[in-house]
Amino acid sequence: MVKVCPYCSHVNVTELKNIIGEENVKTGCIGACRRFQTESVGVVNNEFIIKQTEQEFLDFCKSSK
């Protein structure tokens, strides 16, 4: 399960859902607002993940599925 904030995670939620399946994605607050200016962040399998780029985050989610 991946949880991202549609406002502050710097991740395209639609693309994430297309890659790992809509049933594996939750959206909502992850408590990271304003802490990360450019990094892509989210909670993947109950672990807070920080990646330098959106593509790195998407690749990590895909491999963690």
Domain residue limits at 33? 2-64
Q: What is the pLDDT of residue 34?
A: 81
pLDDT tens figures, 40-60: 999 999 999 999 999 999 999
- pTM of this structure: 0.93
pLDDT at 37 over 80: yes
The two beta strands, 25-27 and 2-4, are: parallel
Contact predicate 25/16, CB 8 Å: yes
User: What is the total count of domains within the chain?
Assistant: 1
CA–CA dist 49, 54 (Å, integer): 12
